[in-house]
């Protein structure tokens, strides 16, 4: 599929798995003494791995860049590179699919409200529409090529973050980073809060181990209920598989938050860029919390456009949660399209499905 219009013209981009020019970014960091990969040119082996440089430049994720190199699509001064461990001081002279890599922009981050019925991919062999079809009309002219952070499947809607920085994308996707994702699920079946509390210890479903999930039973009507779940791994179809394992049928799933960034009142198919200051604050907090990422998922403290409050309401002695805070600055009322506003403590009945959508 062609790269999304309104990002840049096709001749300026290199979509994953397709031909076309790319962009470049120059870096001058020095490799650690104990990290000396083969094929490292230049005096003193100064520089960074080519796969890392191209990922940071937004060409593709590091793993995808490694595949591109293995396929012979990346060259230096006309000579195809043999290994992604090649170290370079910059991307000068690098081509992808025969096209020079252009200068990369600063790291940017966008919130996108993915509707149902769209594939989170560049293209689909079955011809189904992708997120880039919606992004054509959602992003302003001059927006760089963007890559989704994580994925939402065809029938899942809600918040999808997009960035032009492959390294930043990878950092947010790694379970070890501990960035929480919050979903709201409309389900049918019998379930109790006590059963949901057990998910805090993790659960194994058909041989797959899922780490702790913070789940809260919300508004219930008969055997239908809304459940909010926060997790830090984001494995493939994790929420659906866990809830189905508990005997529930999921009829709607909406992601409402990724780290401190929330869906808010962003309309379906709409996109909004996170303010530069908010993005840098989040990246700083991500770096500080990295050593403790494996212990307990934490939400980086950040506010601003599309961000949520820095701390979560704590649970009471009986597992009830304290009332939520008010709207975050820059996001507007914390409501979701088609879902009524929440009211009262998390543990009490709701007047509507809630403000966040999984």
CATH 2.60.120.650 fits 107-358, yes or no: no
How many angstroms separate the CA atoms of 7 and 143, rounded? 4
Predicted local confidence at residue 47, as pLDDT: 81
Cα dist from 112 to 34, 120, 187, 227, whole Å: 40, 12, 24, 22
Predicted local confidence at residue 176, as pLDDT: 84
Predicted local confidence at residue 52, as pLDDT: 80
CA dihedral 312, 313, 318, 320 (to 10 degrees): -110
Can you say how many angstroms the Cα of residue 103 is from the centroid of all Cα atoms in its chain? 24
Low-confidence ranges of the chain (pLDDT < 50): 1-44, 291-305, 307-358
Per the structure block, which two tokens stand in for 341? 């506003």
How many angstroms separate the CA atoms of 235 and 204, rounded? 13
> Which residue ranges make up each domain of the chain?
10-103, 107-358
CA dihedral 135, 166, 15, 264 (to 10 degrees): -10
Predicted local confidence at residue 339, as pLDDT: 44
Per the structure block, which two tokens stand in for 121? 């991919």
Per the structure block, which two tokens stand in for 281? 């604050």
CA dihedral sign of residues 144, 149, 151, 152: negative
Pick the CATH number of 10-103 from 3.10.290.10, 3.30.70.980, 3.40.800.10, 3.60.90.10: 3.10.290.10
Contact call for residues 28 and 46 (beta carbons, < 8 A)? yes
How many angstroms separate the CA atoms of 239 and 253, rounded? 9
Strands 156-163 and 271-273: unpaired
Render pLDDT for 238-262 as a digit per residue (tens, 0 to 9).
999 999 999 999 999 999 999 999 9
* H-only helix segments in the chain: 50-56, 62-70, 131-138, 166-173, 193-197, 238-245, 276-289
Q: Which residues are catalytic?
A: 153
Determine the Cα angle at 126 with ends 123 and 132, to 5°: 25
What residue has token string 């790319």? Answer: 22
Predicted local confidence at residue 289, as pLDDT: 60
Predicted local confidence at residue 138, as pLDDT: 93
């Amino acid at each position: 599929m062609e790269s999304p219009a309104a990002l840049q013209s096709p001749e300026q981009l290199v979509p994953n798995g397709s031909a076309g020019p790319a962009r470049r970014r120059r870096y001058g960091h020095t490799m650690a003494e104990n990290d000396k990969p083969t094929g490292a040119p230049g005096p003193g082996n100064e520089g960074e791995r080519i796969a890392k440089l191209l990922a940071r430049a937004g060409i593709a994720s590091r793993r995808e860049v490694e595949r591109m190199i293995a396929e012979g699509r990346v060259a230096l001064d006309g000579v195809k590179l043999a290994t992604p461990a090649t170290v370079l001081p910059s991307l000068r002279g690098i081509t992808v699919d025969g096209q020079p890599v252009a200068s990369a922009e600063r790291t940017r981050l966008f919130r996108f409200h993915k509707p149902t019925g769209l594939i989170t991919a560049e293209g689909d062999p079955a011809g189904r529409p992708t997120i880039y079809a919606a992004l054509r009309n959602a992003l302003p002219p001059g927006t760089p090529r963007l890559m989704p952070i994580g994925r939402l499947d065809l029938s899942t809607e809600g918040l999808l973050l997009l960035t032009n920085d492959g390294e930043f994308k990878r950092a947010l996707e790694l379970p070890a980073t501990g960035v929480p994702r919050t979903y709201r699920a409309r389900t049918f079946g019998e379930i109790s809060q006590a059963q949901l509390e057990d998910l805090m210890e993790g659960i194994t479903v058909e041989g797959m181990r899922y780490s702790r999930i913070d789940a809260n039973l919300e508004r219930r009507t008969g055997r239908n209920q809304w459940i909010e779940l926060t997790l830090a791994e984001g494995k493939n179809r994790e929420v659906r598989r866990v809830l189905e394992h508990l005997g529930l049928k999921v009829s709607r799933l909406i992601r409402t938050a990724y780290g401190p960034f929330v869906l808010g009142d962003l309309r379906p198919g709409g996109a909004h860029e996170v303010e530069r200051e908010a993005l840098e604050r989040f990246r700083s907090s991500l770096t500080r919390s990295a050593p403790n990422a494996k212990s307990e998922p934490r939400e980086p403290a950040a506010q601003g456009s599309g961000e949520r409050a820095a701390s979560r309401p704590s649970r009471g002695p009986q597992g009830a949660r304290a009332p939520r805070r008010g709207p975050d600055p820059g996001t507007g009322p914390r409501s979701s399209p088609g879902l009524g506003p929440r009211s009262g403590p998390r543990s009490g009945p709701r007047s509507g499905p809630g403000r966040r959508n999984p």
